[in-house]
Structure 1
Amino acid sequence: MKPVKKNISRPTGRAVLLAALLLGAVGCGGPDAFKVSEACGTKVDPDLIGQLLPRGEKLKTKDTFSEPKQPRCEFEVDGQDVVGLRGDVVEPFIKPLEINERTMLRLGNPMPADVGDGATISDHAAMAVQACTYNGEKSQYILVIDGVEDPKDTAERRRILEEFLRSQLPVAMAAEGCRP
């Protein structure tokens, strides 16, 4: 007759081993969020922008067609262009939120947000506008981020987009010399 202790410990041992394997698998998720501290020549909140980028192995930030009054950059993850970020200093009579209304509609459920002098957050992009003075002239600054697919939860993505606009708009304006 086999000892009872041995019969009990074998199933218990299997359960413990299975639990350890499952916990190990949970801990072996995909890559961590990227930490980006600068984009388009300005500092960015690494936690916010990192949440808006897809996970991957290799991140590349590249300036695209940047010039004074128009900083532009794109984020590339694993060889794919994923998120674009751009700023523009424009004349005060231009109405960027109206001009881009159709684009924001195409990007999913645009809703106004309380950022700057006005903002629109869609499912995959966000835009904010703020009046400013540039080289002694009345102007306005437009900040746009688009191509955003992460996080996958749309409500969370929209919340982070709004938080990003709120934190980045004054920083981008100051870097471009557009004073409120």
Structure 2
Amino acid sequence: MRRNVLRHVGGLALLAILFLGATGCVSPEAFKVSEACGTEVDPGLIGQLLPRGDELKTKDTFSEPKQPRCEFEVDGEERVGLRGDVVEPFVKPLEVNADGMRRLGNPAPADIGDGATIADHGGMALRACTYQGEKMQFVLAIDGVENPEETTERRRLLEEFLRSQLPVAMEAEGCRP
């Protein structure tokens, strides 16, 4: 009987050690961000694209009318950039930025707005709009994305983010479809 009790206690102790060890290895939760570049963002979606860490800062960088810009800084290091631009209708942003998209890895077209490119570490989408009574187009770009680690999932989330954020960012900038 004593042997069974010791075996039971030993088993419980081993489970406790395994549990405590496992909880110490859990990575931090995804950040919850509800605003970036002066616009609302889907907190669950953008958080999946950001690296894990202890501290997140969102900084507006060089923003001005027609050009909202912000950077996500994790643990003191700039990681992900988000940009919007209202541009003339004759500008071809996907062509102009083709080299930049290639640097982000394996660019491919996506069915978002009036055109989009999704790469391994970023993406860009655009849509025609009217800005202050003139025909223009709005371009939304994100880069520096390393999360999630699995590339197929990262690309899926980038596409989902651009699809959901493009109309929100356009509206915030006063660019009407």
TM over 0.5: same fold? yes
Bigger drift between 61-70 and 22-31 goes to 22-31
Which runs of structure 2 are paired with 1:17-166 in the superposition (5 Å)? 17-28=13-24, 29-166=26-163
The RMSD of aligned alpha carbons is: 1.2
Residue identity matched to 1:84: G
The Cα of 1:106 is off from its aligned counterpart by 1.3
CA distance in 1, matches of 2:22, 2:174: 47
Q: Any idea what the Cα deviations from partners look like across 1:53-106, whole Å, max 9, x if unmatched?
A: 111111111100000000000010110000000000001111111111111111
TM-score normalized by the length of structure 1: 0.93
SS for the counterpart of 2:83 is strand
Bigger drift between 44-53 and 8-17 goes to 8-17
Residue identity matched to 1:23: F
CA distance in 2, matches of 1:25, 1:167: 39
TM-score normalized by the length of structure 2: 0.95
Residue identity matched to 1:68: P
In the alignment, which of 160, 163, 167 is matched to residue 164 of structure 2?
167
CA distance in 2, matches of 1:104, 1:9: 64
The Cα of 1:25 is off from its aligned counterpart by 3.1
Identity of aligned residues (%): 69
Larger radius of gyration: 1
- State the partner residue of 1:13: 9
The Cα of 1:109 is off from its aligned counterpart by 0.8
Task: Give unmatched runs, 5+ long, in structure 1.
Answer: none
CA distance in 2, matches of 1:19, 1:150: 32
SS for the counterpart of 1:22 is helix
Task: Give unmatched runs, 5+ long, in structure 2.
Answer: none
Runs of 4+ in 1 over 4 A off after TM superposition: none
CA distance in 2, matches of 1:14, 1:109: 53
CA distance in 1, matches of 2:13, 2:110: 50
